[in-house]
Amino acid sequence: MDERDAEIEVCQAIWPELTQGQEDPYLLNLVVDVELNDPLELLFKEPETVHGEGNVNYVSEKVKYLPPLQVAIALPSGYPETAPPQVSISTTPSWLPREKLQELEDLAFSLWKTGTSDILYCYIERIFEQPQDHFGYTSGIKIGSELRLSLLEFQASVIKAAFDASTIACTVCLERKSGAECYKLARCGHVFCKGCLHDFYTAMIQEGSVQSVTCPSPDCHILSASGGKVQPSIPPAELLDMGMEPETVQRYAYMKRKKAIDSDRSIVRCPRTWCDGSSRSKKYPPMKDIAEMRELDETTTTESTSSDEALNSKIAICDKCELTFCRRCKKTWHGDFAFCGTSEEAAADLASMEFIQQHSCECPSCGSAITKSSGCNHMVCFNCRTHFCYICGTWLEPGNPYPHFNTLGTQCYQQLWVEEDLIERKTLVRRRVPDRAPNFDAQVNAILMEQLRLEDEQ
Ligand SMILES: [Zn+2]
Ligand SMILES: [Zn+2]
Ligand SMILES: [Zn+2]
Ligand SMILES: [Zn+2]
Ligand SMILES: [Zn+2]
Ligand SMILES: [Zn+2]
């Protein structure tokens, strides 16, 4: 009997997954699953470097399941006396670095060199130990970012397959169901059978009590900002995932949006008596595709507070008749630079306009006021995407803006990261935002006079 047959027989008794080739029985194949007790850290190289300074950033992911090692072992004739075993290892996609694969392949030759009698057994045992030892990596494995999605998807599919094959007792109908018939809620992880979830949510939506479309567990809640218990709504996209009818989900998303708008006091009614519209708001953009609504509460996203919007916050546009009006005085829109309302309100408007003038510069292409809060002096206009220098207002090459700050002898040399307060005033020659209203000074005076008069009266 060939010595190779004896070795293979012993190993197959221990590892039944060790298979022999159809044509060549001495060509062995082994699939080594990578299922870890301790998660392994993967470091995905970010493709973009920050400001071209050559810094490489990594996105870290800890994973427990990775695509298996495909191990092919050839025992040539002459093995074990005169010929070493030949091994090739791969993974699909190739997430384990080539140097590591080479090291594991070379291990077979090293074992053969020692002259031990049961090389195949020792080798396979060492390979099976590798995953739990994290392949010898102690500070993560560096991987190209293009593999990130496929590796995360692989892990999700392994977890899903295990879930589908499990048996679960639904706490609503009290029946035992297979995992494939159940659904795990994304936020809290509570599991119910799809039938119970479907019937419960459909009934709630038909009744119009959209606030009850939450986890059916009686004590499942999160803490709100004020410390109270709230039961977060199930996002529309998740209702689709669990098999709800699109028409029902559409109705749910529509009713939730309408309820939120109706109860929001920052929304003002259209001043036209014949119109029942209300002001359009960035808080309530037109409804998007329900399959994309994955946020817990799509309708309560925080309002953007850029200085640009603060200045325009008095303007309102009716979502029905499209009348543009002032949300404070309810008159047809009178422009940003006209004051209305009480003297306190007008003074606050003035202060915010002065702040913007102090802390912004003008885009050299379109004239928009650009505010710099922090960061470098390479600016990109939010309106027209022009790249320019915050210090001198020069237009910069979008693909390569940095030579402007790296050319010896120019006024902006090495000024890329200089904060506004440290920019020498004599070099700060950029144009400020001009006063757009010709009667600006007169209006400011009127407000100041009014304030003095009020103070006198007290
Ligand atoms: Zn059930
Ligand atoms: Zn829950
Ligand atoms: Zn209207
Ligand atoms: Zn007004
Ligand atoms: Zn611009
Ligand atoms: Zn410059």
Per-10-residue mean pLDDT of the chain, 458 residues long, equals 89 95 95 95 79 74 96 94 94 95 95 89 95 94 92 95 93 94 92 96 93 91 82 92 94 87 80 85 76 67 38 74 87 77 78 69 77 77 85 85 87 82 49 43 57 60
pLDDT of 20 reads 95
Fold of 3-156: Ubiquitin Conjugating Enzyme (3.10.110)
Distance 252 CA to ligand 2 centre (A): 20
ipTM greater than cut 0.95: no
Q: What's the CA-to-centroid distance between 334 and ligand 1, angstroms?
A: 59
Q: Is the peptide bond before 398 cis (omega within 30 degrees of 0)?
A: no
- The Å distance, Cα 379 to ligand 4 centre, comes to 33
What's the confidence (pLDDT) of residue 302? Answer: 39
CA 337/CA 359 separation, integer angstroms? 18
In this prediction, residue 451 carries a pLDDT of 57
Query: Do residues 332 and 325 lie in contact, with contact meaning Cβ atoms separated by under 8 Å?
Result: yes
Proximal ligand: closest to the CA of 231: 2
User: How many angstroms does the Cα of residue 158 sit away from the middle of ligand 1?
Assistant: 24
Question: Given this model, what pLDDT does residue 430 score?
Answer: 43
The ligand with the least distance to the CA atom of 338 is 4
CA of 327 to the centre of ligand 3 (A): 13
pLDDT for the residue numbered 260: 81
- Rounded CA-CA distance 452/458 in Å is 10
Ion ligand 1 neighbours, Cβ < 5 Å: 170, 172-173, 193, 196
CB 214 within 8 A of CB 234: yes
Q: What does residue 82 show for φ and ψ, rounded to 5 degrees?
A: -115, -15
Q: In this predicted structure, what is the pLDDT of residue 29?
A: 96
Residue 193 CB partners (closer than 8 Å, separation 6+):
168, 170, 172, 173, 175, 177, 181, 182, 183
- In the chain, CATH 3.10.110 covers 3-156
In the Cβ-directed half-sphere of 64, how many Cα atoms lie within 13 Å? 7
